[in-house]
Amino acid sequence: MKASIIIPTYNREDALVNTIENCLSQDFKDLEIVVIDQTKQHQTDTTKYIESIKKRIIYITEDIAGLTRARNIGARNASGDILIFIDDDVILDTNFVSQHIKNYILNNADAVQGRIIEDDSEPKNKPQWIDNKIRFSGSNNCISHGKTNTLTGCNFSVKKTAYLDVGGFDERYTKSSNNEDSDFGLRLFKNNFNIVFSPEAKLKHLRITSGGVDTGIESQKLSLSYYYCELLFARKHFSYPVILYYKARLMWRGIKAIIKLVKYADKKALTALDNQLSSK
């Protein structure tokens, strides 16, 4: 069984280098690393590093930035039986790939959601699950095995045959691209593919604020692409009454985001005035 790690990247430097280094250090030997780089121009050190390891990876450059598109390009260029999708700002144990592969051998998995550890995330006992009212329960920082019907993009894997069966990622999810991973997972689940959660297939997600798919978006919840992607997901998978209810929830999120932004702006204005007074 061969595995392919697929890493879409956009405007990342040191984090990307560290992620690739972690991938090159895996103890699973039948492995290829596919990097889809949508960055216009890297810093000098990053460029030098990429040039030094190009023979050890499949390196693809793309002018048009888009997460779902990059993932599909990576999958098309991957030769692995198992496709492992990660972000470009993660830390992996050396057995990360081996732990993913183990679930296909022992648990008859078609897709595997791995544990995602973040600084502000507390461990939970149940894997994430999405109900018929578009509410998420459980967590991907889960310490227990189980089943799930959704996926989170920075740490999951899938059989290439299953990926092809459901048609890959929906490239209509653009810019912020939120819920593109949940959409993919839910399509797998609806087509009766077995999605398992593995706490051992874990990584640390750094959530680097510079670079990434959100480049240029100061506040996701004040961005058109955020609401577009949320409603695309809702309209693809849920009933009309649920969509209406969800639109109301989105409106409330927008109101709270504006209130937060105004408070933050006012705090900055007060700080600017205080600095002016103290300099006199």
Task: Give the pTM.
Answer: 0.92
Convert the pLDDT of each residue in 65-112 to its tens digit: 899 999 999 999 999 999 999 999 999 999 999 999 999 999 999 999
How many angstroms separate the CA atoms of 225 and 231, rounded? 10
Convert the pLDDT of each residue in 216-275 to its tens digit: 555 778 889 999 999 999 999 999 999 999 999 999 999 999 999 999 999 999 999 988
- Strands (DSSP E) along the chain, which ranges? 3-9, 31-37, 58-61, 82-86, 90-92, 111-117, 129-130, 136-137, 146-147, 155-159, 195-205
